[in-house]
Amino acid sequence: MSASNTSLIIRGLGSYAPSRILTNDEISKFVDTSDEWILTRSGISERRIAAKDEACSDMAVKAAHEAIKMANITPEDIDLLIVATMTPDTITPSTACLVQNKLGLRQIPSFDVGAACTGFIYILGIGGDMLKANSYRNALLIGAEKLSSILDWQDRSTCVLFGDGAGAAVLSRSDITPGRGILGTYMEADGSDATILNMPGGGSNCPATIDSVNDRMHYLKNGWPRGI
């Protein structure tokens, strides 16, 4: 089957949300805010927070199990694994490699993509192109975040916005539904103002030091001029 007449379908979906619920009222007890302030500006009333011993890869695996089950395939049928995350378990190895091991997958291509909120759209496009260009049949695509691990719980402009969880999809080649399914993707990026949402510390530009930790550089920062 050539790339030109390959159809791509989402064969299975899965999700995972941690059990702990953090409400706006709870947040208002340790930061200057209120349920009304958060709700009117963001539409958010509660978010899920992962346990201390619950890593990004753990949530990814739980969502993946659901997606594989819904797709009615086995882990051995997965040919490609991509994880979208900006909160990996570790800088290296990739979270995808950790998920690959935890799921007991074959030694398939496994890698991370860091594109923040657009991460899943990116891996959907990348995974689809790789399915079309190679002999792969099934790609496991996972978006997973433990954003609570990089939030400054003293900063109301960020801590009220984010939570933790994971979603997964099995993307498959299909010759049963020609001309159907995912027809294409469009992506673009604008890196002209990296301060809008960023974490200054932890990378090669600002390695971890006593000063960077004391200056709270290893938390997510909101540089949007109007705030939220």
What CATH code is carried by the domain that includes residue 134?
A: 3.40.47.10
Phi-psi category of residue 224: left, alpha or beta, with phi > 0 → left and psi -120 to 50 → alpha: beta
| 146: in domain | yes
Which residue segment(s) compose the domain that 212 sits in? 193-228
Contacts of 134 (CB under 8 A, 6+ apart): none
| 22: in domain | yes
* Total number of domains constituting the chain: 2
How confident is the prediction for the chain on average, in pLDDT?
A: 93
What confidence category does residue 6 fall into, taking pLDDT thresholds of 50, 70 and 90?
Answer: confident
What confidence category does residue 1 fall into, taking pLDDT thresholds of 50, 70 and 90?
Answer: very low
**DSSP H or E run through 60:** helix 56-71
* Residues 21 and 105 occupy one common structural domain: yes
Q: What is the pTM of this model?
A: 0.94
pLDDT in tens, 130-184: 999 988 999 999 999 999 999 999 999 999 999 999 999 999 998 776 667 888 8
Q: Helix 56-71 and helix 95-103: axis angle, to 10°?
A: 50
User: Is pLDDT above 70 for 60?
Assistant: yes
* Residues 221 and 147 occupy one common structural domain: no
